[in-house]
């Protein structure tokens, strides 16, 4: 457990443990900036073998009482039609800064507005799936 | 740290029904009892124990014996401990009845037998729970009088200590809860320590005779015993502070980090030009205003330059009986909404939105809104006061969202949040409705106005009640009721306050 993970609020830590046990690939906190953690999900992808998986979800430390706000990736994302995802795409944005040192270069400013209501730490799994759908939709 | 006990009105009705009414486990017995979970709720200077889940006694679990008094069998303790072990942060509370006095709320004193039995049972039960969990015993009388003792036991670390009396029931130390707060939808505080008399509040009758005509000296004493917190000392919170001090409230806790500036002088009732010139923190300004306006002898006001969205600011509000949410910020509102349920502290929120026409700059629409939240009220979120997305946006960095760059002579000076229109007359209306809601909750002067959202529609000047009377069916707030410290309140970093702190350190501004 990293130092950042040791100081997480209990519901966030519970969410982290839950996603660890329900997702393949690496799951870790790479940075905490203000009220958000950068949660690396190694397997986040739109389910196509050609792409490079992985991304950082900006997850609020107050999860599930606050919403995820944005995704940072190493490479520009492509939708299911292989078109570059343009919606909310901000290359080299300030929001990438906390994870720039580990390759964070593309910020997708997708908020949780109009997304399913978050009620429990276990909803973290649905959050990852929602971001994957968001990538597919482009 | 002073100790209190809090219970919801519904729980109190249930307790009285179980101990004295048709719900009594063995109605033929002169005393009855049960075991329950209890949760601590910790503020800066007050620790409150909150009643949790009652563990139902089964046949023969609790009985009266002439020789031993009220007996709770070990199998019942064992079952209760299994339940409590599954509740994070919960401790154990043993509750039993005293048949007298039949009326009145004087706190009952424990008998020697009560003291010996409770210390013995709770001492051994405490070892089945993680160290530090609350262990307490309470006595209830038919009129609703209640006294509660919290016990502390030393836990042996080595075998030699286990046989020493200092580590057993004989080494127990206990303290009485000073007050018992019965919460929701109103608020009633009764004295809880049978060995001490409540402090007798002296009234300045000449100053408050016009209100004593309405609620009597008793009501005035209730006000003088209240501690009310105000989160946000802007146009609304500042006026509320003065109103409450003049009404005769005994203690105010003020939390805000802003300084008085020329941009808010037109709605800072009671503030002076010299305070504006010196950019005095608003909590200091309204601490002075409240002291000058106070009618309660011995009035106290405690100013804290903090943000309620951060734990340092919130901790002071956890010492309050009622909290006024006047911070006009979704992050702060969400924090206080959680607090209202988890810590059983009623919250009264108020604010105004004014919408000008962008061309004519005339006021085209707007509303002022007052809502109460907490036990047996709908939560602020379900009443439409804020949304989770708004609370999330308020947590974002200062460069996210509605900020504008302010330039002076072509030079970028600072980024400032876009300002919303604000008028002192609307603030005064909201402050008055908040004050009236506090009177409804604390004195029940107008019981019909206890619950719900009250709205003033600017465009047509009407005052109406919102339709929401309860939380949505999928709302979780009621399930957090009375969980105290065991419930995570979503505090965090107030980004604006963080920037101000950093800037003041850089500038060398005195605090």
Residue B388 contacts A where some CB pair is shorter than 8 Å: yes
* Co-location of B150 and B256 in the same domain: no
The answer to whether residue A50 scores a pLDDT higher than 70 is no
* Co-location of B33 and B127 in the same domain: yes
Helices assigned H by DSSP within B182-301:
205-224, 235-247, 273-277, 282-293
ipTM of the complex in this document = 0.94
* Co-location of B226 and B171 in the same domain: no
Task: Give pLDDT < 70 ranges for chain B.
Answer: 25, 358-359, 361, 363, 397-419
CATH of the domain at B296: 3.40.50.720
Q: Which two tokens stand for residue B387?
A: 């949304």
- For residue B207, tell me if it sits in a domain: no
In chain B, residues with a C-beta closer than 8 Å to the C-beta of A119 are 474, 476
* Co-location of B180 and B224 in the same domain: no
Look at the block and give the residue holding tokens 């006001």: B301
Residue A138 contacts B where some CB pair is shorter than 8 Å: no
* Co-location of B99 and B228 in the same domain: no
Residue B415 contacts A where some CB pair is shorter than 8 Å: no
Number of domain units in chain B: 2
CATH of the domain at B69: 3.40.140
Helix (H) / strand (E) containing B456 = strand B453-457
* Co-location of B167 and B285 in the same domain: no
- For residue B502, tell me if it sits in a domain: yes
Q: Are A62 and B395 inside 8 Å of each other by CB?
A: yes
Give me the domain span that covers residue B415: 214-507
* Co-location of B262 and B329 in the same domain: yes
Cross-strand pairs, B55: B35
Residue B475 contacts A where some CB pair is shorter than 8 Å: no
- For residue B378, tell me if it sits in a domain: yes
pLDDT score, position B301: 98
- Picking from A88, A106, A108, A109, the residue whose alpha carbon sits closest to that of residue A97 is A106
CA distance linking residue B189 with residue A19, whole number of Å: 45
Strand duo B227-231 + B251-255: pairing: parallel
Q: How many CB atoms lie within 10 A of CB B2?
A: 13
In chain B, residues with a C-beta closer than 8 Å to the C-beta of A66 are 334, 388, 391-392, 395, 490
Answer for the pair B313, B255: CB distance below 8 angstroms, yes or no: yes
pTM of the entire predicted model: 0.94
- Picking from B12, B215, B200, the residue whose alpha carbon sits closest to that of residue B105 is B12
CA distance linking residue B438 with residue B372, whole number of Å: 9
* Co-location of B282 and B405 in the same domain: yes
Work out the angle at residue A37's Cα, subtended by the Cα atoms of residues A35 and A42, and round it to the nearest 5 degrees: 165
- For residue B202, tell me if it sits in a domain: no
- For residue B220, tell me if it sits in a domain: yes
The answer for A 24-53 residues in CB contact with B (under 8 A) is 33-36
Q: How do residues B404-434 score in pLDDT, each as one tens digit?
A: 444 555 555 555 555 678 899 999 999 999 9
- For residue B79, tell me if it sits in a domain: yes
* Co-location of B162 and B233 in the same domain: no
> Across the interface, which of A10, A33, A66 has its CB nearest the CB of B392?
A66
B499 exposure class (CB count in 10 Å sphere: 0-12, 13-18, 19+): middle
* Co-location of B231 and B181 in the same domain: no
Domain C-terminal end among B159, B191, B223? B191
* Co-location of B160 and B221 in the same domain: no
Among chain A residues, CA nearest to B497: A34
pLDDT score, position B404: 46
- For residue B19, tell me if it sits in a domain: yes
User: Which SS3 state, helix, strand or coil, does residue B446 take?
Assistant: coil
How large is the angle between the packed helices B112-126 and B74-85, nearest 10 degrees? 50
- Residue B106, phi then psi, degrees to nearest 5: -60, 135
pLDDT score, position B271: 96
pLDDT score, position A45: 77
Answer for the pair B509, B280: CB distance below 8 angstroms, yes or no: no
What per-residue string of b and e applies to B474-493 under the rule 16 or more CB within 10 Å gives b?
A: eeebeebbbbbbbbbbbbbb
Look at the block and give the residue holding tokens 């036991």: B153
Answer for the pair B146, B107: CB distance below 8 angstroms, yes or no: yes
* Co-location of B242 and B291 in the same domain: yes
- For residue B197, tell me if it sits in a domain: no
Among chain A residues, CA nearest to B310: A35
CA distance linking residue B336 with residue B372, whole number of Å: 11
**Residues in Cβ contact with B376 at an 8 Å cutoff, skipping those fewer than 6 apart:** B8, B9, B10, B184, B185, B451
3-state percent breakdown (helix, strand, coil) of chain B, nearest 5: 35, 25, 40
pLDDT band of A1, cuts 50, 70, 90: low
| Alpha carbon of A117: minimum distance to chain B alpha carbons (Å) | 9
Q: Where are the beta strands (DSSP E) in B143-196?
A: 146-152, 173-176, 179-183, 187-191
Q: Where are the beta strands (DSSP E) in A1-138?
A: 27-33, 36-41, 55-60, 71-73, 89-91, 106-108
Q: How many CB atoms lie within 10 A of CB B27?
A: 10
Q: How do residues B235-271 score in pLDDT, each as one tens digit?
A: 999 999 999 999 999 999 999 999 999 999 999 999 9
> Across the interface, which of B338, B399, B492 has its CB nearest the CB of A35?
B492
Q: How do residues A74-94 score in pLDDT, each as one tens digit?
A: 999 888 877 889 999 999 999
Look at the block and give the residue holding tokens 């106005």: B449
Work out the angle at residue B255's Cα, subtended by the Cα atoms of residues B250 and B259, and round it to the nearest 5 degrees: 120
CA distance linking residue B310 with residue B317, whole number of Å: 11
Percent of chain B whose predicted confidence (pLDDT) is above 90: 83
pLDDT score, position B403: 47
In chain B, residues with a C-beta closer than 8 Å to the C-beta of A69 are 392, 396
Answer for the pair B178, B3: CB distance below 8 angstroms, yes or no: yes
């Amino acid at each position: 457990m990293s130092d950042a993970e040791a100081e997480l609020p209990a519901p966030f830590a519970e969410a982290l443990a839950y996603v660890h046990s329900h997702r393949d690939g690496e799951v870790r906190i790479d940075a905490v900036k203000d009220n958000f953690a950068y949660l690396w999900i190694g397997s986040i992808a739109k389910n196509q073998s050609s792409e490079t998986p992985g991304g950082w979800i900006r997850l609020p430390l107050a999860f599930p009482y606050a919403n995820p706000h944005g995704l940072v990736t190493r490479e520009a994302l492509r939708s299911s039609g292989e078109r570059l995802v343009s919606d909310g795409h901000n290359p080299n944005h300030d929001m990438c800064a906390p994870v720039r040192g580990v390759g964070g270069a593309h910020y997708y400013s997708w908020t949780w507005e109009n997304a399913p209501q978050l009620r429990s730490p276990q909803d973290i799994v649905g959050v990852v799936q929602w971001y994957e759908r968001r990538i597919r939709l482009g | 740290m002073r100790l209190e006990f809090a219970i919801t009105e519904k729980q109190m009705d249930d307790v009285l029904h179980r101990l004295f009414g048709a719900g009594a486990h063995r109605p033929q017995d002169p005393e009855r009892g049960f075991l329950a979970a209890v949760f601590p709720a910790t503020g800066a200077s007050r620790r409150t124990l909150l009643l949790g889940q009652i563990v139902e006694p089964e046949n023969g679990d609790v009985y009266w014996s002439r020789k031993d008094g009220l007996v709770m069998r070990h199998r019942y303790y064992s079952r209760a401990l299994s339940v409590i072990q599954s509740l994070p942060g919960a401790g154990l509370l043993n509750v039993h009845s005293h048949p007298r006095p039949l009326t009145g709320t004087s706190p009952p004193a424990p008998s020697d037998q009560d003291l010996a039995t409770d210390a013995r049972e709770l001492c051994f039960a405490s070892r089945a729970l993680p160290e530090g969990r609350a262990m307490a015993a309470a006595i209830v009388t038919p009129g609703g009088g209640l006294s509660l003792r919290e016990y502390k036991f030393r836990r042996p670390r080595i075998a030699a200590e286990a046989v020493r009396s200092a580590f057993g029931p004989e080494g127990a130390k206990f303290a009485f809860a000073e007050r018992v707060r019965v919460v929701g939808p109103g608020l009633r505080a009764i004295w809880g320590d049978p060995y001490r008399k409540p402090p007798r509040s002296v009234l300045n009758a000449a100053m408050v005779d016009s209100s004593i005509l309405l609620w009597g000296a008793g009501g005035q004493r209730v006000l003088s015993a209240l501690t009310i917190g105000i989160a946000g000392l802007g146009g609304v919170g500042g006026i509320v502070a003065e109103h409450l001090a003049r009404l005769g409230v005994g203690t105010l806790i003020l939390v805000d980090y802003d300084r008085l500036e020329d941009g808010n002088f037109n709605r800072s009732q009671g503030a002076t030009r010299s305070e504006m010139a010196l950019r005095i923190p608003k909590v200091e300004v309204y601490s002075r205003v409240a002291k000058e306006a106070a009618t309660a002898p011995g009035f106290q006001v405690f100013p804290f330059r903090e943000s309620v969205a951060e734990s340092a600011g919130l901790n002071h509000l956890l010492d309050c009986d009622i909290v006024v949410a006047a911070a006009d910020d979704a992050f702060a509102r969400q924090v206080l909404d959680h607090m209202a349920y988890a810590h059983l502290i009623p919250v009264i929120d108020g604010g105004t939105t004014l919408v000008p026409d962008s061309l004519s700059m005339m006021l085209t629409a707007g509303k002022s809104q007052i809502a109460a939240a907490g036990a047996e009220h709908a939560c602020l979120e379900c009443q439409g006061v804020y949304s989770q997305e708004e609370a999330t946006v308020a947590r974002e960095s200062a460069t996210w969202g509605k900020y504008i760059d302010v330039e002076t002579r072509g030079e970028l000076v600072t980024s400032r949040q876009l300002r919303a229109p604000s008028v002192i007359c609307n603030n005064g209306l909201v402050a008055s409705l908040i004050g009236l809601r506090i009177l409804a909750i604390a004195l029940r002067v107008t019981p019909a106005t206890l619950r719900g959202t009250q709205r003033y529609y600017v465009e047509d000047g009407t005052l109406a009640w919102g339709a929401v009377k309860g939380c949505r069916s999928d709302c979780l707030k009621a399930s957090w009721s009375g969980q105290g410290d065991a419930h995570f309140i979503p505090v965090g970093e107030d980004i604006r306050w963080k920037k101000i702190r950093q800037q003041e350190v850089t500038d060398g501004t005195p605090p």
